[in-house]
Amino acid sequence: QKVIEEAPAPGMSDEMRAAMTDAAVKAALAIDYVGAGTIEFIVDGANGLRPDGFWFMEMNTRLQVEHPVTESVTGLDLVEWQLRVAAGESLPKLQDEIELCGHAFEARIYAEDVPRGFLPATGTLHHLEFPPSVRIDSGVVAGDAISPFYDPMIAKLITSGPDRASALAALGEALDASRIAGSVTNLAFLRALAAHPGFGAGDVDTGLIARDIDALVHEPEATAEVWAVAALHALGLIGAAPAWSLWQPLAWQVSLVHKGEEEMLAASPEGSGWKVETPEGTVTLDIASNGDMLELRSAEGLSMMTLATWPGHVAVMGDAGTFEFAIPDPLEGAAADAHSGDHVISPMPGLVRQISAVAGQQVTRGEPLIVLEAMKMEHSLVAPRDGVIASVGVSTGDQVNEGIVLLQLEAAD
């Protein structure tokens, strides 16, 4: 799928643009086409963009997802034009009357797990916030659910500027300022791509992401400050004035789960703030809160973070990304499953396309057992260890939710 679109194309000469535009107009005239449409060409950029180096690929009889970048650099409302043409009106302008001004980018923000091969994700958008200075095209609001039944796009973020450098800088700043909690997203990936030196230089081709995939999918780690904020929220200490008395504990302890790992943290009063022992070290914080916005002062300096909370969870959001924590209920701790290696669990909502195992079958670690289809892609689920299939809990054609136990294993005799 497309990730970031821009207009005009970097490195495209006026001569090539005129040739490509002329070819598109001739194609539409050749079939007497009336309405909005998008003609796509494939380009050989090995020796630069040349007027003789592009070929017709396809025509879509609709506006494309990326039409906002065209609108940004032409000043035209293509949706309005589409409606006027459908109503029998003439186009407001001829082709040679359309001028390009400035540069624009569009980033597609998706609910997808980039490090896990861009798997589509689901969840409830407990927090959804974008900077007010940029164009956002979206069909969801905070509180909406991302389901497995539709494309997982959350929003399109569009920036523009007088030139490519300024539009790209605005894109990076807008992505940094975006805050989403409740579902994994590709925001960190988009931030890394917008900051990629090759992309910044306009050296773009279809192999760019694959060449630098390891750097682009690097996940930021939660810092000591992020852990501390999550712990102080879980303890109900944000906004509470540190005080000491004989009747208060010297330190409060809380357990947090992040990326499947449970950690114990401790907080104690320290001057006007709190000293918190975290998995990333001990940090002392002074926190001023204004609703879900937090101003932090620590040895690292001043920083701003945003909190999003829902039952049993807290998300800490900053320029580095969104970090979600589960707050375990101590009364439910005994119910934790100690045998997760005995299960094959659905990593996402999807359709059971194929089952390659039956009860009583002996399997080895890594052996494919189930094919799950989600968002038009097939994902093979494998045995987590050597063993024997104890039971199969689903059938081919079943629609399953994330976290459902599909198979159970038992030790081989």
DSSP, residue by residue, 339-360? -GGGEEE-SSSEEEEEE---TT
Residue ranges per structural domain of the chain: 4-216, 224-332, 337-410
pLDDT digits (tens, 9 = 90+) for 223-257: 999 999 999 999 999 877 666 554 556 789 999 99
- What is residue 376's predicted lDDT score, i.e. its pLDDT? 62
pLDDT digits (tens, 9 = 90+) for 193-204: 999 999 999 988
For residue 116, give the nearest of 372, 352, 326, 336 by alpha carbon: 372
Q: Tell me which fold the domain 337-410 belongs to.
A: OB fold (Dihydrolipoamide Acetyltransferase, E2P) (2.40.50)
**Is a pLDDT exceeding 90 seen at residue 187?**
yes
| Residue scoring higher pLDDT (116 or 100) | 100
Mean pLDDT on 345-370 = 88
Residue 192 has phi, psi (to 5 degrees) of -65, -40
**Is a pLDDT exceeding 50 seen at residue 360?**
yes
In sign, the C-alpha dihedral spanning 109, 111, 115, 116 is negative
Rounded to 10 degrees, the C-alpha dihedral 233/126/135/92 comes to -170
- What is residue 335's predicted lDDT score, i.e. its pLDDT? 39
For residue 257, give the nearest of 329, 180, 328 by alpha carbon: 328
Mean pLDDT on 356-368 = 90
Mean pLDDT on 45-56 = 87
- What is residue 119's predicted lDDT score, i.e. its pLDDT? 85
- What is residue 337's predicted lDDT score, i.e. its pLDDT? 43
- What is residue 351's predicted lDDT score, i.e. its pLDDT? 85
pTM equals 0.80
**CB atoms inside a 10 Å sphere around CB 294:** 23
Confidence at 338, pLDDT banded by 50, 70, 90: very low
- What is residue 256's predicted lDDT score, i.e. its pLDDT? 94
Mean pLDDT on 277-304 = 91
pLDDT digits (tens, 9 = 90+) for 374-394: 766 778 888 888 899 999 999
Residue given tokens 């890394």 in the structure block: 192
- What is residue 277's predicted lDDT score, i.e. its pLDDT? 96
Q: Tell me which fold the domain 224-332 belongs to.
A: Glycoprotein, Type 4 Pilin (3.30.700)
Percent of the chain scoring above 90 in pLDDT? 63
- Please state, rounded to an integer, the average pLDDT across all residues of the chain: 89
- What is residue 205's predicted lDDT score, i.e. its pLDDT? 83
CATH number at 4-216: 3.30.470.20
Catalytic site residue 385? Answer: no
What is the distance between the alpha carbons of residues 106 and 157, in angstroms, rounded to a whole number?
A: 5
Residue given tokens 């390659």 in the structure block: 356
Residues 17, 62, 164, 191: which is the catalytic one?
A: 62
First to last CA, the chain: 47
Q: In what order do the strands lie in the sheet with 103-110?
A: 4-7, 103-110, 153-161, 135-138
Percent of the chain scoring above 70 in pLDDT? 94
